[in-house]
Amino acid sequence: MAEQVLVVTGGSRGIGAAVARLAAARGYGVVLNYLGNVAAAEAVCATIHAAGGEAVAVRGDVGREEDIEHIFRAADRMGPLRALVNNAGMIAPVARLDAMEPARIAEILRVNVLGTMLCSAAAVRRMSTRHGGKGGGIVNLSSAAAKLGAPGAYLDYAASKGAIDTFTVGLAVEVAGEGIRVNGVRPGIIDTDFHAQGGEPDRVRRLAPTIPMGRPGTADEVAQTILWLLSEDASYVTGTTLAVTGGRAVVP
């Protein structure tokens, strides 16, 4: 049984996979949630096992309450939950608002906002001293788009991440006296395949010259920030969202 358990949603690729690997290296037992790509999720777990870590892949849709309970029951079996990284999220093809179907907007809000809130509620019920827990940390994945709106491209996605920023502040204050710290990370242009979901697989390459540091970020760099926020080195940090953007303030 692990001494401390971390749940990462959307952990089969990109930032989520980097978080899973780094968390395991830092001594967490990892529950890696995924939606559909079982091969990718199991590959991340295999990498962790090969390095001597503990991890299990659990399939589930974070927008469905019954799936969330399945994910967190797996954590209960592994050991005491001490950390949650709300990484699962979706984006849709580039479009203006007046061309978006209501179903598209609803699905993005269901996964990105409802999923984060429901997973956080499950974590609070386990970690809060009010419920007999020993405290812990939650990190929510936002986006630079939350500050800039992503006009003409991902307005619905940007709005969902703006909601995450507000939720991070509110939940942090709500549970600050119960041993739980809640923070966020706001990645900018990161070298993953995420933008391929939006029909722009070359977006990272195209925007790289606009980044003051001269390059896109890596999933590992975002994961390092997340694990710092969960560590005792950040013991007095809550309600904060850190920008991991390489100095880039504008996302067109």
- Give the residue among 75, 89, 68, 70 at the shortest CA–CA distance from 31: 75
Out of 28, 34, 154, 157, which one is annotated catalytic?
Answer: 157
- Cα distance between residue 204 and residue 211, in whole Å: 10
Q: Which helix (H) or strand (E) holds 54?
A: strand 54-59
- Cα distance between residue 26 and residue 208, in whole Å: 31
Q: Is 236 a catalytic residue?
A: no
Residue pair 108/92 in contact (Cβ under 8 Å)? The answer is yes
- Cα distance between residue 16 and residue 9, in whole Å: 7
3-state secondary structure of 190: strand
User: Which residues belong to the active site?
Assistant: 157
